[in-house]
A and B are shown apart, each in its own frame.
Chain A
Amino acid sequence: MDRFFEALFLGLSSGAIYALVALAIVVIFRGTGTLNFAQGEMATMSAFVAWIFDDMGVPLAISVLIGMAFGFLLGAATEVSIIRPLQKKSSLAVFVATIALFLGINALTNGIWGTPPEESLDSLFPNDPDDFVRLLGTVWRYTSIGALVVTLAVTALLFLLFQKTRFGLAMRGVASNAESSRLVGIPTGRVLAGSWGIAGALGALAATIVAGNNGQVTPTMMFTVFVYATAAATLGGLDSPGGAVVGGLLIGVIENVAAEFSEDWVGQDMKLAVALLVIFVVLLFKPSGLFGTAKVERV
């Protein structure tokens, strides 16, 4: 049973990170209907920006906020300058553009920060060897608990934003019917840029947590996180923020339990394959995900 709780907790804490990035994916998908392949790379770049300020002696929490602000601007600028003009041409062009962005930003971060010495970043949460509590026979590190708490807090904030604010109502409106949104006077361009910005900030937060857990920022640190997050968003439903969180936590738990209890078969090496299997199975049997809205057209 201890092994199970250990795998469960490990799963929840890594799942919290997947959930954050999955939320970013969902916020963008609801707005522009785009799967942003560059989400992870944009987040990595923002984490490097946070590192620059941290390295200059700015307090870590402020550095992370600056990184998130950079992520916001990067996301919003991407929507305005790349996604919006291309969307008028074709959705395939947008799809290709986000892959190009993925490659381009990765090359950029590699070029600027890729050579050792590595850029070290502290964790936002207490991360000394003795910073943990024992619960149900397993070690729960503060860093993991912190990631979980941050994810739940961000989810609650996003829920309030969507349900209780004017901007949130506008975001839901644009997601539901873009033409009617213009007709009720919503500046749809600003809403879409804002959605990409929020996603960029969420990704930045996730990336600084990942970097904090690893102790350093590396150009490739969000690769696998992004794959897991995509699986999480697919599982939860690409247009459902709540689904993204549930999906993220589920994927985290599934991969860790699979690795723990099927050591010889899945093990640590094939964890990622579990995520791909989940994407495949969900797309096959429930394309709209667990909580996503199935597209129904009244003719």
Chain B
Amino acid sequence: MSGDEHATGAALLEVTGLRAGYGQINVLHDIDLSVGANEVVVVLGANGAGKTTTMRAISGTIPRDGSITFAGEVVTKSAADSIVRAGIAQVPQGRGTFPELTVEDNLRIGAYTRRDGNAAVRSDIDRWYTTFPRLAERREQRAGSLSGGEQQMVAIARALMSRPTLLLCDEPSLGLAPRITQELFAIIATLSEQGVAVLLVEQNANLAMRIAHRVYLLETGRIVASGDAATIAADDSIRKAYLGY
């Protein structure tokens, strides 16, 4: 099942032979995956499959081996802050916010790596307030005082403030009401139309498949299948295992 027809030419993110883990324990075994520009790619996997580890390895918050190329540059050895500067922003699992900071400061700190002046940052903050009107209402509140769904919005807006070309989303649906999750996924889907590619890892396969262009299946640290969202959804055994019908 070769699913790379979408990512023609040079992919935005090209990961080959990625190995990573914690201490002596290796979690990822030679992962290959790619994300094209403006593409929404979903990695599905159960608990412990290595989804979060994959995200951390790409964002440079844990040591890793193999090769990661982003926008033509090898970033395998880059530190987390230079990966952000290169254009990859991660929304970590759970609370990715700064709970003691106000919503507004959360967005301002998201622009930490930018050097294009206060006016540009200000207009981006207002842009994401338009996308997430509830955050505009709560701009002076501490992020930690918001509901789970609102905090997830803060985390996503915070990540977008660095003007990434690739957004890594680690299980944004975790612990959220279905209606909120749908709202979030709808916004994530529109990002690719605005020039931001998305790599999304999820357990919530049904929803994720709806916005995905391409899908990878991750099992115990290995990619076991990949392909167009439609192709994957049509595969009986995969559908039974991941979609439950």
Contacts and interface: CB of A to CB of B under 8 A. Distances in A.
Nearest to A170: B112
9 contacts: A166-B112, A180-B92, A183-B61, A183-B84, A183-B92, A183-B159, A184-B112, A185-B84, A187-B81
Interface string B84-118: 11000110100111111100010011101100000
Interface stretch (A70-78, A122-130, A171-179): A171-179
Q: Tell which of A179, A180, A187, A298 has the most Cβ of chain B within 10 Å.
A: A180
Given A166-B112, A172-B109, 20 more contacts: A169-B109, A170-B109, A172-B98, A176-B100, A176-B101, A177-B98, A179-B61, A179-B92, A181-B109, A183-B80, A183-B90, A183-B92, A183-B96, A183-B159, A184-B89, A184-B158, A185-B162, A186-B81, A186-B112, A187-B81
**Main secondary structure on A side of the interface with B:** helix
A293 interface: yes
B59 interface: yes
Interface of B: 59, 61, 79-82, 84-85, 89-90, 92, 95-101, 105, 108-110, 112-113, 144, 148, 155, 158-159, 161-162
Nearest to B99: A176
A296 interface: yes
B109 A173 contact: yes
A298 B80 contact: no
Q: Chain A, interface size: which category?
A: 20 to 34
Interface string A186-198: 1100000000000
Contact of A184 (B82, B110, B148): B110
Contacts of A187: 79, 81
A180 B159 CA distance: 10
A184 B112 CA distance: 7
Nearest to B114: A185
B23 to A, nearest CB: 11
Nearest to A177: B98
A3 interface: no
A286 interface: no
Interface centre among B61, B98, B101, B158, by most chain A C-beta atoms within 10 angstroms, is B98
Q: Closest 9 interchain pairs by CB?
A: A185-B84, A185-B113, A176-B98, A185-B81, A182-B80, A176-B100, A173-B109, A177-B98, A184-B112
B80 A172 contact: no
A274 B85 CA distance: 52
A161 B61 CA distance: 28
A244 B81 CA distance: 32
A78 to B, nearest CB: 23
B105 A182 contact: no
A172 B113 contact: no
A169 B84 CA distance: 17
Contact of A172 (B81, B84, B101, B110): B101
A122 B95 CA distance: 53
A186 to B, nearest CB: 6
B144 A180 contact: no
Contacts of A296: 144
A49 to B, nearest CB: 33
A147 to B, nearest CB: 31
B144 to A, nearest CB: 7
A296 B95 CA distance: 13
Given A169-B108, A173-B109, A179-B92, A185 B97 contact: no
Of A169, A172, A177, most B-chain CB atoms within 10 Å: A177
Contacts of B101: 172-173, 176
Contacts of A184: 84, 89, 109-110, 112-113, 158-159, 161-162
A176 B109 CA distance: 12
Contacts of B161: 184
A182 to B, nearest CB: 4
A293 B100 contact: yes
A183 B89 contact: yes
Nearest to A169: B109
A207 to B, nearest CB: 31
Which of B80, B81, B109 has the most CB atoms of chain A within a 10 A radius of its CB?
Answer: B109
Contacts of A175: 100
A183 B83 CA distance: 9
A176 B97 CA distance: 9
Given A182-B81, A185-B81, A298-B144, A172 B100 contact: yes
Contacts of B109: 169-170, 172-173, 181, 184, 186
A296 B109 CA distance: 22
A169 B105 CA distance: 8
A298 B98 CA distance: 13
A184 B89 CA distance: 7
Nearest to A163: B105
Interface in A208-241: none
Contacts of A170: 109, 112
Interface string A273-299: 000000000000000000001001010
